[in-house]
Amino acid sequence: MPPDTTRAARPLPLVEISGADARERGRQYGEQTRPLIERSLGFYREEFERKSGLAWPDVVARVPRWYPLIDDYAPGLLDEVRGIAEASSRTVEEIVALNGRGELRTRDPFAEASDCTSFVVTDEASGDGHVWCGQNWDWRSETAGTAVMLRIRQPGTPTIVTLVEAGQVGRHGANSAGIALNANGLAAPFQRGLGIPAPFIRRRALESAGMDQALQAVFTARQLLSTNVLLTHREGFAIDVETTPGRHGWAYPRDGVYAHANAFTTFVPPQVAASYRPASSDSLIRAERVERTLRRARETSSSAGMHALIVEALSDHLGYPNSVCNHPDPRAPRTFETLASLIVDLTTGEFWVAGGNPCTTAFELLPWNLYEDAEAPARLAAGAVHA
């Protein structure tokens, strides 16, 4: 049975880095997260060998082949990684491998998707007229306790707030230009060769001042993994892009509501069409369940009501334990669970995080408003939520 819904606080560590010098930003990051980086690497060393067949020395020796791709796609970002490595007493190769953990878990990228559920409710559908987005981030139970909320302030680009595994440069989040990125895996690997690790692609998208730039970051990346990316703008525009190493497919919210799990919905890549099956069959349940709940958004009359409705959607237990709110499955050899849950009000710039299952973990309002470092849009003070 699903657990009791009594919610307890479990805040994630907050890490803030700033400055024009990328290497110095990295040092700030590495200094604050050194123990968590060590813990992550301890898990992934064994995981990489099990999933890709590469022993740790092989991984470290081959990682530099990624450098030219990363430098060409996101100039300067490797300097931030070098700073992280220096301050955490790790090598650059190890930190890049940590960022490439998705690619390294799939197979040897030089020669299994997480079960996440993303959503958006635009001003067209929300009862308070705000734009809301977010997701449940489901990942391996062994990595619990290694995630942090990272705030990145760098001149010339929007300020970013992103959920990451310690040592990664980007994952899920939003920025001071009013752009949010939520993502979930699509298990359809069909191309061998080098591809840019997903955190670098997401970081570049989150550095964008406009939706056109964010989409360009997604569409110009040379990737290895198939990934779903849901981009939302505070003006009420949202687009979901199912990306692959080949072509991409895209969709827009219907009547202002959209949810995505871990199955292709706009197309199936021709390279896998003859044999494709969703890696997580519960994907076919989760997206519909979230959408069904969020279609009641028009019935709400306040931001507090919208927040409560989203928490309800993210806490859904149909198919438990393999549900929207994901719990360890005792029947599975390796367990996954919802390690964090995110809710963003892109209209006000408020960002909430639950550091565990949303059914049992309270959402904490981050002390960083997205628009502190920008000329904010007109904010709706009335109806602000404090979970």
Q: Which helix (H) or strand (E) holds 352?
A: strand 350-354
Q: State the pLDDT at residue 324.
A: 98
CA distance 193 to 18: 34
Classified as helix, coil or strand, 291 is: helix
Q: State the pLDDT at residue 385.
A: 42
Question: 319 near 112, Cβ under 8 Å?
Answer: no
Classified as helix, coil or strand, 79 is: helix
Q: State the pLDDT at residue 5.
A: 66
Q: State the pLDDT at residue 334.
A: 81
What pLDDT tens digit does each residue of the chain (387 aa) get?
A: 566 667 898 899 999 999 999 999 999 999 999 999 999 999 988 888 887 788 889 888 989 999 999 999 999 999 999 999 999 999 999 999 999 988 876 554 444 445 799 999 999 999 999 999 999 999 999 999 999 999 999 999 999 999 999 999 999 999 999 999 999 998 776 766 788 999 999 999 999 999 999 999 999 999 988 999 999 999 999 999 999 998 999 999 999 999 999 999 999 988 888 888 887 889 999 999 999 999 999 999 999 999 999 999 999 999 999 999 999 999 988 889 999 999 999 999 999 999 999 999 999 999 999 999 875 444 433 334 433
Q: State the pLDDT at residue 54.
A: 81
CB atoms within 10 A of CB 281: 12
Question: 344 near 234, Cβ under 8 Å?
Answer: no
CA distance 119 to 310: 9
Domains and CATH numbers, the chain: 18-106 (1.10.10.2120), 110-365 (3.60.60.10)
Q: Which helix (H) or strand (E) holds 31?
A: helix 22-52
Residue position matching structure tokens 């200094």? 31
